[in-house]
Structure 1
Amino acid sequence: MHAPVELGHGRIDTRSIRLMPVSPLQVNFPCIRSVAEIKRESTDKKSGQNSKGSRIYLSSREKEPPAAVLGQIRLRWNVENKNHHHRDATFLEDKCRCRTGNTAANLALLRGAVLKIWKTTRPDLPAPAFVQRNQRKIDAVTNLMTKNQRLTNLQ
């Protein structure tokens, strides 16, 4: 059992992990070698309200330290929070129903370009405010892309 405490986002979070070795036959899923159960207890710092949750994760790794498994699961959520949340909260990407040809891929590229411009030019603004302020200034935004070396050099 591994249970680190995190103090962020106005909460006190405690996550505990329990690892169980399994065979693919036990879980009826090929390549699965272990199951991780993550239990989370959260306390809101302002209100003192408690909440609990539990999740199950399947892994193809047989023997892994609990801290490493928990770290990998937390790392996965970093990607979600840093990338997908902005795309969905600002551009409602999950509600987009474009399915014709390359439309979905083209829109994803455009959304990615706008987020890159936002993060390198005005990270102090929330993404929705940046988009709203610049949605009718396409020439100014295009100039930002060509004049600002930080945008054209991949980091």
Structure 2
Amino acid sequence: MLLCSQKLIAEKIIAANADYILSLKDNHPTLHQQVKNWFEAAQLIGFEGIDISISQRIEKGHNRIEKRTVYTVPVSQIPGLYQLDLWVGLKTIVMVVRSIQHWNKTTQEVQFYITSLVSDANKIASAIRQHWGIENSVHWTLDVTFHEDECRIRSLHSPQNFALLRRIALNALERESSFRRSIRQKSRRAAMNDRYMLSVLAAALSNSVPLP
């Protein structure tokens, strides 16, 4: 289901003359494993003879040093990619290696992406970094306002459903402009004032005008 929806998302983005960068995880098991295996093999030979673009960035702060290395290769470099023809506009495969050095330990994580952008590691790294900034900001707001990290909902599709509802609520609260307070204060007022709650709901609709 998710795989199909992401392919549809990619198709719609390309139809709108835009570009996409989509995370490649275990919900795409065959393609994910194929890409992972290819990069591991390519690293063993030092990417010799491979058309690859590499970008590296080191950031210091919060008592840690973070090193991010972004590798991008045209899809033509990885033959036989699974269901390649179903990903509209797909041009580049991306690997991001994040190494974080704390005072007492070093952690590393590897993430893969597929994108319609051409293989330019600097440009793609910048786009992914901006996405991380937005995601981190949204996550912080959701945790402060709705205590998302403390949520113990675990069964079936409930976690995804509630996460979607929180983001809808966050969007509505951000769009409501008659009460100029923090998102948390707006949320509390909506819980205590039915008229303001209707104003928030109205703000969530396109071309709507908040109630006076």
Q: Same fold (TM over 0.5)?
A: yes
Please say if 1:80 is aligned against 2:115: no
Give CA-to-partner distance per residue, 1:12-43, whole Å, 9 cap, x none.
Answer: 10001122122386322233222111111111
User: Which residue of 120, 126, 130 corresponds with 1:71?
Assistant: 126
Gapped runs of 5+ residues in structure 2? 1-53, 152-157, 201-208
User: Following the alignment from structure 2 to structure 1, what is the Cα–Cα distance between the partners of residues 131 and 125?
Assistant: 10
Aligned match of 2:39: none
Report the number of matched residues.
132
Give the alignment's Cα RMSD to 1 decimal: 4.1
1:13 is matched with which residue: 46, 52, 66?
66
- Corresponding residue for residue 138 of structure 1: 193
Q: Where does residue 101 of structure 1 map in the other structure?
A: none
**Deviant stretches of 4+, over 6 Å:** none
Higher relative contact order (CA 8 A, sep 6+): 2
Matched, 1:35 2:93: yes
Cα deviation digits, residues 62-89 of structure 1 (max 9, x gap): 332x111111111111221222442356
Q: Which residue of 2 aligns with 1:4?
A: 57
The whole-number CA distance in structure 1 between the counterparts of 2:66 and 2:119 is 26
Amino acid at match of 2:181: T
State the AA in 2 paired with 1:121: R
Q: 1-side partners of 2:105 and 2:135: how far apart?
A: 25
TM norm structure 2: 0.46
Task: Measure how far apart 1:49 and its partner are.
Answer: 1.7
Determine what percentage of the aligned residue pairs are the same residue.
Answer: 19
Distance in structure 2 (CA, Å) of the matches to 1:14 and 1:57:
18
CA distance in 2, matches of 1:60, 1:132: 38
Distance in 1 separating the partners of 2:167 and 2:131: 20
Q: TM-score, normalised by structure 1?
A: 0.59
Query: Which of 42, 45, 62 is the aligned partner of 2:118?
Result: 62
Q: Does 1:112 align with 2:176?
A: no
Aligned pair in 2 of structure 1 residues 135, 14: CA closer, same or farther (>3 Å)? same
C-alpha change, 1:19 and 1:112, in structure 2 (3 Å) is closer
CA pair 121-32 structure 1, distance change in 2 beyond 3 A: same
- AA at the equivalent of 1:34: T
